[in-house]
Amino acid sequence: MNNVVRMAIVDPVDPSRNSVKNLLLGIDWVWLEAECSRYEFFSEIVEQTSPDVALISLDGDTHRALALVAEVSLSHPTCAVMVVSKSQEGSTILQAMRNGAKEFLNAPLKLDDFMTALDRLRGSSDSKQGKSKGSRIITLVGASGGVGCTSLAVNLGCALSAVEENSVAIIDLDLALGDADVWLDIIPDYTIQDVADNISRLDYSMLKRSLTQHATGAFLLPRPVHLEAEPPMTPEQMQRVVALLKATFSHLIIDITKTFTPLDMAALEISDDILIVTQLDLPCLRNVVRMNQFLEDRDLGDRVKVVVNRAGMGESQISMNKALETIGREVFAQIPNEYAIVIESRNNGIPFVSEHPKSRITRAIQQLAANIDARAAHVPEEDEPAKPKRGLFSFLGK
């Protein structure tokens, strides 16, 4: 199993099935891949969806349900079977375990019992297959407009994806004015709007088709094509999408707005790292202080890392010592000012980490990536600048 547990459930009794479904929807690392009300159809559903766990209720028809436990366990050995039942008869429990069930839970299903059982299953899977590396969510937010959040998000994603073991997805959550697709010279067939329109039946294959891969290896989930007054999805739905992406990608880079919308807050709450991007001027530094306090009040302060962009502009900037005194915390990274390279990168739609691999700004981005993921410190240097062709990208799942 990976970071997200994909689950299929079968229960002919509507009230109990809905109760289990509601319980699962409250766990962000459990993805309800499929639900079924007929025992005779469930094995085919497992075949089609390949979930990590099958949860089978015995109470609709104990005899048929036990037979189904054996069928799923035999036909799909990589799918762990859990059963739930009101019956506590020893013979029923014994038969379920003999038929291949890994866990037997009491109905009505209790959250603590269910989480404990899932932890046992995940631990067993990790011990057999080796502990999988967790996915890391990095959200960037600017201390003011135009500080370079999108540029850093895109190039950080490309730098991380240069490591063979990494898989990186960039999510453009600036739904109104996001331009990550411009920085990557991508004209996507699908956007986050397509994900939102299909949220009720979203699965792995559909989500993969909504991502566009850049020549550097990074994937992009872009903002909607059309400007709308209302966001396309709720914060809860967005978090479910991110949870599903965590099962596939080692790193998720989220570029949010500067208005702290409900969607922005949902992204911040599930992030491992919150990069506040600032410049060394008074309005930005004052906003860093305000944002720090805002996030600390919501128990997110320990995830905050301050990144100074366009450092080294000389006397026109506030000194680093004065900046540290003002913001009251250390600076996690400094990105040098190389205006001409950044503008060229934006206009050409080629990440500067690819087009200018030996520049100071690329080295700084690579160091930032290394500080987040130590393996990124060992990316081999290019003898010549690597310039991927413009407009070349492929689609997962095609």
Domains of the chain: 5-129 (3.40.50.2300), 136-395 (3.40.50.300)
Query: DSSP assignment, residue 145?
Result: T
CA contacts within 13 A on the Cβ side of 388 = 22
CB-count burial class (<10 Å; 0-12, 13-18, 19+) for 222: buried
In angstroms, the CA 107 to CA 57 distance is: 9
Q: Cβ distance 317 to 357 under 8 Å?
A: no
pLDDT, tens digit only, all 398 positions of the chain: 446 788 999 999 999 999 998 888 767 678 888 999 999 999 999 999 999 999 999 999 999 999 999 999 999 999 999 999 999 899 999 999 999 999 999 999 888 788 888 888 876 654 444 444 568 999 999 999 999 999 999 999 999 999 988 999 999 999 999 999 999 999 888 889 888 888 776 666 677 778 999 999 999 999 998 888 888 888 988 887 887 788 778 899 999 999 999 999 999 999 999 999 999 999 999 999 999 999 999 999 999 999 999 998 877 789 999 999 999 999 999 999 999 999 999 999 999 999 999 999 999 999 999 999 876 665 544 444 444 444 433 334 44
Q: Cβ distance 168 to 218 under 8 Å?
A: yes
Give residue for tokens 């020549």.
Answer: 215
